[in-house]
Amino acid sequence: MARKGYHHGNLKEALIKATIALIEDKGPTGFTMAEAAKAANVSAAAPYRHFSGRDEIIEEIARQGFEIFADLMEYAHRKSQPSALAAFEATGRAYLAFARKYPGHYIAMFESGVKITANPDLTAVANRAMNVLTQAAEDLCKHLPSDKRPPATMISQHIWAMSHGVVELFARGEPGARSPFSPEDLLESGMGVYLRGLGVIEK
């Protein structure tokens, strides 16, 4: 008897969807391929038609996540033009919004141990997201004299790290539930202190 849960040609996406739910519920290492197959309502052998194992499914989920993430970053940056500061701040908020809306993808991207540089497609799409933030930093620093202009890549990496820290500590359950400040307020104030310290914006 044919199994239900996916239509012909939709097996790959059914497995990905089921695995995302398992990642959100059990973490990236808390389930087996057999459990992913069961969650997708397919045979234990079915996942191997598309993936060599759990790590490869997680890698594909990470790639899809970076595609979504880069699209959100680009949209946030574009819609906040022509204000360079507003565009820069919007990319930070987009980071928080993505982590909230796509927790399974976020975990696959940043908490699964997936080796981004080992996969050219994954590397390219991850770089696309970082490049949006770097471009926003370049735009923000254009008014500074060249000898006083901090490297845009350094700024983008610092803000990426700050955004990631806010997500991990305050935007994904505990201990965030105990924070008297919203993740958005924490990130915005942190960005302001950082940019003022560099002289990028006025004190």
DSSP 63-98: HHHHHHHHHHHHHHHHHTTT-HHHHHHHHHHHHHHH
Residue 203: inside a domain: no
Give the integer Cα–Cα distance in Å for 108 and 116. Answer: 11
Q: What is the pLDDT of residue 17?
A: 94
| Same domain flag for 98 and 28 | no
Could you report the per-residue pLDDT of 74-97, keeping only the tens digit for each? 999 988 888 899 999 999 999 999
Question: How many structural domains compose the chain?
Answer: 2
| Same domain flag for 3 and 91 | no
- Whether residue 36 contacts residue 15, with contact meaning beta carbons closer than 8 Å, is answered with yes
The model's pTM: 0.87
Which one of 11, 33, 51 terminates a domain?
51
CATH code for the domain in which residue 44 is found: 1.10.10
Residue 62: inside a domain: yes
Q: Which domain covers residue 154, as residue numbers?
A: 58-198
Q: What is the pLDDT of residue 202?
A: 80
| Same domain flag for 123 and 169 | yes
- Whether residue 136 contacts residue 87, with contact meaning beta carbons closer than 8 Å, is answered with yes
